[in-house]
Structure 1
C-alpha cells in the first residue's frame, strides 16, 4: 500500500515503511518472523525505495523505449524469488521478452529480497551462470 508507505516514510518512521514495503515485496513469511537484524537492515536502507521512483516508475533513463533492450546482446541472468508477488513475475516476463540473450532463474522459497534473505542461493545461481558465459 503505497499510501501507507508514503505516510510512514514522510513521518520518519523507517521501520514502519520497511514493514509496509516488505508486506508487498517480501517472501510472504511475515514481518514478525523476519529477524530483528534484517528488519533493521531494511529500515536503514528504505530510503532507496522513494529515491528509485524516477528510474523505476517514470523510466527517466528511457530504458523502455522501443529497441533499447534489444541492443543488450550480452548474456543476462534475470532472477526472481519463487514466492515473489505476481507483479514481480509480470515485470520480469516483460523484461525477458525484450532481451535477446536472457536466462531466468527462480530462487525457491525467496521473495523479492532474495539477495538479502537467500544470499547463498543467489550466489550459487550467479556462479552457475558465470560458468556458462
Structure 2
C-alpha cells in the first residue's frame, strides 16, 4: 500500500532585508605620538613599555570624539602622550540611513621613537 501525502505550496522563510545603509565612522586626521630622548631614554623605553596603546573613541553625531584608554603602554608618561595625540584625531561620524549617529571605534595607536641625529 502506497501512502500519498500532499504538500501545499512551499513556505518561504522570511528574509531579513536592510533597507537602510549603515556607514561606519572614519578617521579624517590622525596624530602619531612621538617619544624623544629628553622624555625617555631609548634603553628604558624598549625594556619597560610597549610601543602600542589601545584607545576607544566615542564619536558623536557631530563628529566630535571622546577617547579613553583600553590598554596601557605600561608607562604613565607614554599613556599621557598617547591620549594627548588621540584627542587631536578628527572623524567623520557614522551614518544610518544618511543621518549621522554616535558610534564607537577601538583603535591601535603606535608610537614613533624619535632619535637625535
Query: How high is the TM-score relative to the length of structure 2?
Result: 0.25
- Whichever structure has more strand as a proportion of its residues is 2
- Whichever structure has more helix as a proportion of its residues is 1
Q: Which has the higher contact order (CA 8 A, sep 6+)?
A: 2
Larger radius of gyration: 2
Query: How high is the TM-score relative to the length of structure 1?
Result: 0.23
